[in-house]
Amino acid sequence: MALQVYIGGELYDKADAKISVFDHGLLYGDGVFEGMRSYSGRVFRLTEHLDRLWESARAIHLEIPMTKQAMGKAVQETLAANGIKDGYIRLIVTRGSGSLGLDPNRCQDPQVIIITDSIALYPEEFYREGLELVTAATIRNHPAALSPRIKSLNYLNNIMAKMEGLRAGCVEALMLNHKGEVAECTGDNLFILRRGRLLTPPIDAGILEGITRNAVLELAQQAGIVTAEIPFTRHDIFISDECFLTGSAAEVVPVVRLDGRPLGTGKPGPITLQLMQRFHELVHG
């Protein structure tokens, strides 16, 4: 059976899932999205993802043409139509079809698109042995220009940094903000362990407030691990005891090298492994 894609209240075969070439989501990246995971047919933190989608839309003055309840129901129905229990969900809301020009007032019919599929972001060996990062020369967009808390369809900033990582032989790249502080990676949030404290950059460092990031902070606190959201630099990563990334698709993945330098023991650390296990129990429980 062909993969079914939800567009505007209807399901279409993947090959027939189309929108207008005049949609401003395509022409200008004018729209918002969410990436979510389902485990055993249950969408992980669906409410939080929908809240963030609505907040992103509100921030760019885009009205989503359905309720959160209807969106949640559409997600479940699309998963069921594709027979997906453990998979990935991409929610997209575009500005809609308009004219060749920036004026969003000339757009009509915002498009709601739901894609469900299987995903394996990183090879299994990265979860066992850890992955390597390289620092990208491309910095995170200045938060005063566009809030990084808006999960918009314009991901060129991240893509440029991703290309740097891939050219260096790394599947992920570290991005700094305009102050030279650690922000996040191209698609994941970053954590380090230093002297028994679990640290992650704060929201005002120019990061997306990740759903998985917040879940891991909660799990760490429940385990009695001291956590802090504070600014830090590459120096702090180099001298850290452990490092890992979080994301809806990535889940929790260890980092063992940055810019050719080993981090900690050069292997996934005990706190990282503990949080990986706790997260696995959370999503499959």
Residues with catalytic roles: 151
| CA–CA dist 242, 246 (Å, integer) | 14
Asked if 117 and 79 touch (Cβ cutoff 8 Å), the reply is no
Number of CB atoms found within 10 A of residue 136's CB: 24
| CA–CA dist 113, 13 (Å, integer) | 13
Helix, strand, or coil here: 200?
Answer: strand
% helix, strand, coil for the chain, step of 5: 30, 30, 40
CA-closest candidate to residue 83, choices 117, 133, 121, 126:
117
Pairing of strands 251-258, 242-247: antiparallel
| CA–CA dist 43, 49 (Å, integer) | 10
Asked if 140 and 177 touch (Cβ cutoff 8 Å), the reply is yes
Q: What is the DSSP string of 235-284?
A: HHHHT-SEEEEEETTTEEEEEEEETTEE-TTSS--HHHHHHHHHHHHHHH
β-bridge partners, 197:
194, 226
> 6-18 in b/e burial notation, b at 16+ Cβ within 10 A?
bbeeebbeeeebe
